[in-house]
Amino acid sequence: MPQEIDEADLREYAAGVSQRSEFGAIFDKISAGRTFKFLVFGLRKEPYLEALKQAHNEGFLEQLLEELTHAGIGGRSPAAVSPRLEAITRPDLGFPNVEVEVAGKLTATRRLCCITVLCSPGGSPYKSGTGFLVGPQTVLTSYHVIASLLDAKDVPLPDSSLRLRIAFDELNGLGQGAVIPVADDWLAGYSKFHPLEDPAQAKPLDWDKMPEDGFDKHLDFAVLRLARTVGRERGFYRLDAGSLPAVGGGSAQVALLQHPASSPLASTPGAGLRLWPGSHQTRLHHNANSTDGSSGGLLVNNEFKPIGLHQCSYRDSAGKPLFNGAITTFSIARFGLQMDNVQGFDPVWRLASGEPVIGREEFQRGVLDAVIGYKRILTVAGESKTGRSFTTKILRQLLGTAEHHVVELSAAKLAVTARLAALQILDSIRGAQTPVDDLPKTDDAETAQAAWIAAELFPAFAKQLELLAARRMVWLVLDDVDRYPIANTSVRVFLETVYAGMSNVPRLRIVLIGFRGHLDGAVLAQVKGEQLREFNVLELADFIERESTDNGITRKKGEAQSMAQNILNLDNLLPQKLGKTEQASVAADRARNEL
């Protein structure tokens, strides 16, 4: 039974209670029986006293008095309420789950970065901030962090990409982090700060009288495009347009992850205090510690989910800090920017069939160059069991069927005359359609063979290929050109003519598997070659990172490389025992078992 307590003590405490609605909310939260509203209606003269007596009778008086005291409601606590060995001194911070917190912070160490704006390329720091990955190739930060890199029309200044330093893994201050360059067109999207939030003004703001106009359109964020898709290895945060932060109470605890003053990554606890304004709630006021360099930091909730982009601190007229402010991430998500799209190189590490792709980024970069038009002919050289036959699988995975058409021919089956080889290629593009013999015949040639091929056969072939392509790009893959050399007949002259005239066939790309050396007839600048080799530790580590991230597993810095080294040290991965493709499969299986 609850210990006896003097009713006079309760009456004295009740006499000092203020703020009826707050008292009622706290009472209702911790009582399991009658509500305070019912007590008010039933006992109008002394509702506070009756509520305290009920709490005493049902055994939750101590908890009620603690929460009322922390909320600043009520008078002196009754003398009969004994001291306890434990107490909730910060009910707003609650009790964070250690497992969730550890996992969340480990994830953050891989996804957050320190952003430094330099005075000039390679020069001294001008301004610093924080950012975090929100896509495979994109980082989110505050607009005011990078505003000095833009002109009056918000267009990046010349050489501005060289004045942005993005560094991940700056965790202990002992060494330089992983610096990732930004793309030349690095500004992927932005929203400016509200004129009343201009850092140059630094005027105290009266939030209770502040007009709401414009605060839903000015969100003070910038999306930076990186030169590489590092989010594939590190993972990235997805902003939820429906995730509203909690404020007040025990579920409103937050953590601010940041690089304060360009220091190693730090985490500070706090609580969400207020969402403003009521109409669209684009600002979240909180009390987690921050300082210069914290702008653009990630504010997470008690589940370590993104809820805010740290923006600034608010001070009174005397310069005393009042609280900090963040832009709610749900409002940024509703802004409608595509943050998870990729522009540029995005290597494949696993085929749709599940087969692993370890290494081979040189070839994949070549494919990208060919799609853009920088290159027209790709060559892949290597001994047997080095993954040559795997090349076409990678090519098909990289290219969508709506825009590309891959045609495979073995050099062993290629016709030995120019006209028949040209028809063979065109028929391969037609597929199941009825072959059409619509190329000029050699009987019609009135000049030398090479001249006829250049003047008549090749132009007709190029025209037919462009018609068959039907706005798709045709990739002609000739396999085993080292095992079955091209016959030294008119077919060789025809192919050399095609190599030389690639610019006249805009929708044609050629991949020669097994070829090495100088390609006669081709324009050197249009050719890119790959020499196959055994994959190395770093390439296997990249695969492990990507596979881990795809499975929702976060690796500590350097952990994937250690795993890769251990896997490659196993005897059954020696080169003389297995080919490159088989090695990749065994290595990937072992890596997945480790995952």
DSSP string, 553-566: -PPPTTHHHHHHHH
- 87 — pLDDT class (breaks 50, 70, 90): low
Residue 181 clears pLDDT 70, i.e. is over it: yes
Residue 528's H or E segment, with its range, is strand 527-531
* In a domain? residue 458: yes
The residue with tokens 């192919």 is: 495
Number of domains forming the structure of the chain:
4
Phi, psi values for residue 266, rounded to 5°: -130, 155
pLDDT of residue 38: 54
- 202 — pLDDT class (breaks 50, 70, 90): low
In this structure, are 140 and 53 located in the same domain?
no
* In a domain? residue 222: yes
Strands 321-328 and 283-286, by their bridges, are antiparallel
- Mean pLDDT, to the nearest integer, of 544-569? 90
In this structure, are residues 540 and 358 in contact, taking their beta carbons and an 8 Å threshold? yes
Helix (H, G, I), strand (E, B) or coil at 468: helix
Gyration radius from the chain CA atoms: 34
Residue 1 clears pLDDT 50, i.e. is over it: no
In this structure, are 224 and 129 located in the same domain?
yes
DSSP, residue by residue, 254-272: EEEEE-GGGPSPEEEEEEE
In this structure, are 406 and 555 located in the same domain?
no
Q: Which of the listed ranges 70-79, 95-104, 386-395, 415-424 does the model predict with the highest average pLDDT?
A: 415-424
pLDDT of residue 42: 45
Instruction: Mention every residue, 6+ apart, whose C-beta is less than 8 A from residue 432.
Output: none
Q: What share of the chain has pLDDT > 90, as a percent?
A: 60
Out of 89, 122, 147, pick the residue that ends a domain. 89
Q: Which residues does residue 256 pair with via DSSP β-bridges, in sequence order?
A: 268, 299
User: Would you tell me the crossing angle of helices 537-550 and 559-568 to the nearest 10 degrees?
Assistant: 120
Please state the pTM of the whole predicted model: 0.79
Q: Which of 88-92, 289-293, 381-385, 562-566 has the lowest mean pLDDT?
A: 88-92
Strands 508-513 and 473-479, by their bridges, are parallel
Mean model confidence pLDDT for the chain: 87
Residue 194 clears pLDDT 70, i.e. is over it: yes
Residue 425 clears pLDDT 80, i.e. is over it: yes
Per-residue pLDDT tens digits for 113-149:
999 999 999 899 999 999 999 999 999 999 999 999 9
Q: If we measure between CA atoms, which residue out of 144, 93, 165, 168 comes closest to residue 313?
A: 144
In this structure, are 438 and 476 located in the same domain?
yes
Residue 43 CA from chain centroid, whole number: 59
Q: For residues 116 and 163, give the distance between their C-alpha atoms in angstroms, rounded to a whole number.
A: 8
Out of 27, 59, 89, pick the residue that ends a domain. 89
- 57 — pLDDT class (breaks 50, 70, 90): confident
In this structure, are 108 and 173 located in the same domain?
yes
pLDDT of residue 469: 92
The residue with tokens 């992927």 is: 188
pLDDT of residue 51: 83
In this structure, are 295 and 370 located in the same domain?
no
What is the CATH classification number for the domain harbouring 513?
A: 3.40.50
In this structure, are residues 68 and 74 in contact, taking their beta carbons and an 8 Å threshold? yes
* In a domain? residue 355: no
DSSP 439: S
The separation between the first and the last C-alpha atoms of the chain, rounded to the nearest angstrom, is 54
Q: Which of the listed ranges 158-172, 528-542, 567-581 does the model predict with the highest average pLDDT?
A: 158-172
The total of other beta-carbon atoms located within 10 Å of residue 573's CB is 18
Residue 519 clears pLDDT 60, i.e. is over it: yes
Per-residue pLDDT tens digits for 237-265:
999 999 899 987 767 899 999 999 999 99
Out of 282, 316, 333, pick the residue that ends a domain. 333
Sign of CA dihedral 22, 25, 28, 29: negative
pLDDT of residue 269: 94
pLDDT of residue 178: 93
In this structure, are 123 and 192 located in the same domain?
yes
* In a domain? residue 304: yes
- Mean pLDDT, to the nearest integer, of 454-462? 95
Residue with the bigger pLDDT between 120 and 322: it is 120
In this structure, are 526 and 573 located in the same domain?
no
Residue 386 clears pLDDT 80, i.e. is over it: no
The residue with tokens 């009622």 is: 24
Strands 182-191 and 306-315, by their bridges, are unpaired
Question: What domain range is 20 assigned to?
Answer: 7-89
Residue 22 CA from chain centroid, whole number: 42
pLDDT of residue 297: 98
pLDDT of residue 117: 97
Structure tokens at 199: 């850092």
Instruction: Mention every residue, 6+ apart, whose C-beta is less than 8 A from residue 593.
Output: none
In this structure, are 197 and 220 located in the same domain?
yes
pLDDT of residue 41: 46
Q: For residues 249 and 29, give the distance between their C-alpha atoms in angstroms, rounded to a whole number.
A: 10
pLDDT of residue 595: 64
Q: Each residue of 33-56: b (16+ CB within 10 Å) or e?
A: eeebeebeeeeeeebbbbbbbbbb
* In a domain? residue 1: no
Residue 282 clears pLDDT 90, i.e. is over it: yes
* In a domain? residue 342: no
In this structure, are 393 and 481 located in the same domain?
yes
Per-residue pLDDT tens digits for 339-381:
999 998 999 999 999 889 998 999 999 999 999 999 999 999 9
pLDDT of residue 344: 86
* In a domain? residue 426: yes
In this structure, are 545 and 527 located in the same domain?
no
In this structure, are 136 and 171 located in the same domain?
yes
- Mean pLDDT, to the nearest integer, of 479-504? 94
* In a domain? residue 291: yes
